[in-house]
């Protein structure tokens, strides 16, 4: 029996034709009523599965709450919280928006070039509608998919988004649900897919009303945030339905193209059918109903291929996952500190392994974890992995939130970008990376509980015990911490930033127009690495086209002998070129290359 109907929303207050169907899960409650405005109360009826239902007259914009026994609470499936997490819910008609994307076709995942952004700091206004003014910039850059960090309602007006407590509501300070619909519509008009980051492993600590409704959490497992979400304990069906409904809503009612599930390694579920696999099945059902394509992407640090394996082979059926170990190896090559989780990475040897194996730890002993870790990713297609030189976590996990451009020289910035773009995986950029943005991306919150604020401050300091020795950690609650993270678009008027922007644009163009690079065939990859000279040579090919990518992470020119029989090499792209602010192109003589320091050269076979 299907508990959820993929084609329509069936929880919360669902507006339709001047009426609202009401369905809220509270299996332990003795009485549940709906209060509209301040006076009108409607008692609801309970079914055997713990759902309370009814039908009432309601109009969009009306505010309401539920009375659960003696507690007056917002709707756990609220679509709008205009007065914040402690205020009433507001009726929103998801069907009222006039979509103009009937002809939109979600690109094949192979075509995705991700651009991760945070709504609050990406523009001066910090709203979803303001993002629309930057879409032409992204299109000209070569981006094909805009990835929004979480927009679910959180306390206050500023937050990374991972403290959301109303998974169905779009943050009011971002502009609310209609602005999200408008943004998605505009992105599709521009040819951009939209990826939304969602959090199904925990809820934030302030304003979380779910425990007052029922057993949404279980003490069977512990997570970094406390009790785990109840995906497999008693009464878990209602919890599973809640998150399945949430995923379907973003696809169906907001036309989101892909979801990125945050930290799925923190989802605790020993059910016969994992919650992610069940979301996969319902998403497939929705796609059959609508004819649209949607992707499911996970962040997972387990190096476990089950997440991206097909369900017919016992996997969870996710379409792709972030590959942090590629990032770690790349950053160690660039001179990153060898502490915390970076202590397990050797540098260029592990980067070479990441190019061919995806995972660095693929069933070998990890000193940092003190155990054998990971699984073999052989046979998993390249489009199942997303790689990057930076993202919100890897920048924000630093105490001061320094971006790559604040940590490495200009030539190394260009090399890191090139190393990502030539990988047989899907590339992701973090907002502002394309011009070497100099503002930090620090952790910020806007809680109302003083004890919680102090706990977050203290926790933030402890978080860096394995990374940094500095004592002056930015105050996450302070507005100035948030304002310091605003993306400075005016930097694009400065010569070196504008130059780097053109560099990224050309690099993406080379990738997009070179089959040996954009066809993500992991079988057609060879790597030669030299730890002594800190050089790496990547050989990729498709049909008769061969491409050689030579990378020099050292601060000295290095002589490279191409071992493959490709004597007629021609330079396609060279980060050391004067055109890109470098010292001059590397020297190419037949199969010999003198590669400049901190540079990447891309060469193809002229005989093809």
In angstroms, the CA 494 to CA 470 distance is: 32
Query: Do strands 599-605 and 193-198 pair parallel, antiparallel, or not at all (unpaired)?
Result: unpaired
Token pair, residue 63, equals 């505010």
Token pair, residue 114, equals 């991700």
102 catalytically annotated: no
- Asked whether 94 and 106 are in contact (CB, 8 A), the reply is no
- Write the DSSP symbol of residue 211: H
Reference 16, options 306, 253, 184; nearest CA is: 253
Three-state secondary structure call for residue 6: coil
Reference 302, options 285, 282, 318, 286; nearest CA is: 318
Q: Catalytic pick from 93, 233, 241, 299?
A: 299
451 catalytically annotated: no
Exposure string over 336-369, b if 16+ CB within 10 A, otherwise e: beeebbbebbebbbbbbbbbebbbbbbeeeeeee
Reference 517, options 604, 447, 452; nearest CA is: 604
Burial of 306 by CB count in 10 Å (0-12 exposed, 13-18 middle, 19+ buried)? middle
Three-state secondary structure call for residue 312: helix
In angstroms, the CA 545 to CA 123 distance is: 41
Q: Catalytic pick from 197, 206, 262, 433?
A: 262
Q: What is the dihedral of CA 306, 293, 423, 349, to 10 degrees?
A: -10
Token pair, residue 557, equals 């020119």
Describe the crossing of helices 324-333 and 348-357 by its angle, rounded to 10 degrees: 150
Residues carrying an active site annotation:
262, 299
């Amino acid at each position: 029996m299907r508990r959820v109907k993929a084609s329509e929303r069936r929880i919360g207050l669902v507006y339709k034709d001047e009426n609202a169907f009401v369905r809220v899960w509270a299996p332990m409650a003795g009485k549940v009523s709906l209060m509209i405005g301040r006076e009108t109360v409607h008692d609801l009826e309970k079914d055997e599965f713990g759902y309370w239902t009814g039908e009432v007259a309601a109009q969009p914009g009306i505010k309401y709450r539920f009375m659960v026994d003696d507690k007056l609470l917002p709707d756990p499936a609220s679509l709008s919280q205009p007065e914040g997490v402690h205020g009433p819910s507001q009726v929103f008609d998801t069907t009222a928006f006039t979509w103009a994307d009937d002809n939109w076709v979600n690109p094949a995942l192979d075509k995705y070039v991700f651009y991760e952004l945070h709504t609050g700091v990406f523009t001066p206004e910090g709203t979803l509608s303001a993002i629309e003014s930057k879409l032409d910039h992204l299109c000209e850059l070569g981006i094909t998919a805009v990835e929004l960090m979480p927009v679910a309602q959180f306390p206050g007006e500023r937050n990374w988004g991972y403290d959301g407590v109303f998974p169905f509501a779009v943050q009011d300070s971002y502009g609310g649900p209609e602005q999200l619909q408008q943004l998605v519509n505009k992105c599709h008009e521009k040819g951009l897919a939209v990826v939304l980051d969602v959090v199904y492993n925990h809820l934030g600590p302030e304003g979380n009303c779910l425990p007052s409704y029922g057993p949404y959490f279980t003490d069977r497992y512990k997570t970094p945030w406390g009790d785990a979400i109840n995906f497999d304990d008693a009464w878990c069906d209602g919890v599973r339905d809640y998150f399945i409904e949430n995923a379907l809503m973003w696809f169906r009612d907001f036309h989101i193209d892909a979801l990125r599930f945050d930290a799925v390694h923190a989802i605790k579920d020993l059910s016969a059918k994992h919650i992610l696999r069940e979301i996969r099945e319902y998403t497939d059902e929705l796609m059959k109903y609508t004819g649209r394509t949607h992707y499911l992407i996970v962040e997972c640090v387990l190096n476990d291929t089950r997440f991206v394996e097909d369900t017919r082979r016992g996997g969870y059926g996710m379409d792709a996952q972030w590959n942090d170990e590629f990032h770690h190896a790349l950053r160690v090559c660039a001179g990153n500190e060898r502490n915390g989780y970076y202590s397990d990475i050797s540098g260029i040897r592990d980067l070479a392994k990441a190019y061919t194996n995806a995972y660095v730890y693929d069933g070998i002993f990890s000193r940092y974890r003190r155990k054998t870790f990971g699984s073999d990713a052989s046979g998993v297609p390249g489009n199942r992995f997303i790689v990057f030189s930076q993202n919100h976590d890897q920048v924000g996990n630093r105490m001061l939130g320094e971006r790559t451009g604040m940590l490495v020289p200009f030539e190394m910035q260009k090399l890191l970008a090139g190393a990502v773009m030539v990988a047989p995986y899907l590339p992701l950029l973090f907002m502002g990376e394309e011009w070497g943005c100099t503002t930090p991306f620090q952790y910020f919150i806007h809680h109302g509980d003083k004890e919680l604020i102090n706990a977050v401050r203290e926790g933030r300091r402890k978080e860096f015990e394995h990374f940094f020795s500095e004592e002056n950690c930015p105050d996450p609650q302070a507005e100035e911490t948030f304002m310091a993270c605003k993306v400075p678009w005016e930097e694009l008027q400065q010569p070196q930033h504008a130059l780097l922007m053109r560099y990224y644009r050309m690099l993406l163009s080379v990738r997009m127009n070179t089959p040996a690079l954009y066809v993500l065939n992991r079988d057609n990859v060879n790597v030669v690495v030299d730890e002594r000279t800190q050089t790496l040579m990547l050989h990729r090919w498709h049909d008769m086209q061969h491409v050689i990518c030579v990378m020099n992470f050292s601060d000295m020119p290095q002589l490279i002998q191409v071992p493959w029989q490709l004597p007629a090499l021609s330079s396609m792209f060279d980060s050391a070129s004067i055109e890109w602010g470098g010292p001059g192109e590397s020297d190419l003589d037949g199969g010999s290359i003198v590669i400049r320091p901190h540079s990447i050269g891309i060469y193809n076979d002229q005989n093809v």
